[in-house]
Structure 1
Amino acid sequence: MDIKLKQCFLAVDDHDKAIAFYRDVLGLEVRGDVGFEGMRWVTVGSPLQPDVEIVLEPPAADPDTSPADKEVMAQLLAKGVLRGVNFTTSDCDELFARVRESGADVVQEPTDQPYGVRDCAFRDPAGNMLRFMEPSKP
């Protein structure tokens, strides 16, 4: 038996802003854009990983979620405490410069970590934490 990651989910409050960030800034492909019961799911992924996707979904993406719970989820998303994704990159500094230039919220500038990576971090337009790691050079 083999097990592989297929999809992970990030809540976003504005799919058009999310698409502009993930596609135009990070260079991910938009692989799907589906609406259902007044909600929207957009699937993005790296051209280098055709079998792994990030699904950008509404906060509380269940049509049966109560209005009170939807409000709580929106508040948590605004605080940036719901979810995050870690990426690898071959050039942390170049990626940092490009993402910073886009106006994204910088959380951490490129830093050499004691556990063997150089990494940086940003928040996407919805507040999700995104970390970009490059293996340290020997």
Structure 2
Amino acid sequence: MDFVSIRIITDEINRLVGFYEKITGVQAAWGNEDFAELRTAHGTLAIGSTRTVGLFAPGSARPAENHSVIIEFLVEDVDALYGKLKGVVDEFVNEPTTMPWGNRALLFRDPDGNLVNFFTPVTPAAIERFRR
């Protein structure tokens, strides 16, 4: 088995895709007006409009109601990115903070309220865990 992607369902696909393009620097690949993917070396963030839900399971997904999932991105320097995100992100949950498991993490919300974590491993064990 291979984990491939996570998909966010949204009422405002252009706004959400634009937000993720800005914060990641990754250009979205659009399948059509209702579906786009931001592909990285190790995973894909897919974004679909609410119109796509009816195609696979009507009523099964509701946009902007996530309170349990955190979308995480490994970044080179979370502290440097924090300054750059201040004009793009409306709601920061915390400032860059070193976590007990060795990552320096920055949590914020995307325009739909989903939690996003940008993190940089900073301890030797965390750096080794994420060595690519």
Same fold (TM over 0.5): yes
Following TM superposition, the consecutive aligned residue runs of length 4 or more in structure 1 with deviations greater than 3 angstroms are: none
Contact 2:109–2:115, Cα closer than 8 Å, also in 1: yes
Contact 2:66–2:113, Cα closer than 8 Å, also in 1: yes
1:13 and 2:6 correspond: no
Unaligned runs of 5+ in 2: 125-132
- C-alpha distance in 2, partners of 1:83/1:34? 26
CA pair 11-83 structure 1, distance change in 2 beyond 3 A: farther
Which position in structure 1 is the counterpart of 2:35? 41
Unaligned runs of 5+ in 1: none
- Amino acid aligned to 2:11: D
CA RMSD of aligned residues (A): 2.4
Contact 1:26–1:99, Cα closer than 8 Å, also in 2: no
In the TM superposition, residue 44 of structure 1 has moved relative to its aligned partner by: 1.1
Answer 1 or 2: which has greater strand percent: 1
DSSP-derived class of the 1:101 partner: coil
Q: What's the TM-score, normalizing by structure 1?
A: 0.74
In the TM superposition, residue 95 of structure 1 has moved relative to its aligned partner by: 1.4
- Amino acid aligned to 2:86: R
**Sequence identity, in percent?**
20
For residue 105 of structure 1, the aligned residue among 85, 91, 95 is 91
CA pair 16-112 structure 1, distance change in 2 beyond 3 A: same
CA pair 58-81 structure 1, distance change in 2 beyond 3 A: farther
In the TM superposition, residue 100 of structure 1 has moved relative to its aligned partner by: 2.0
1:32 and 2:25 correspond: no
Q: What's the TM-score, normalizing by structure 2?
A: 0.77
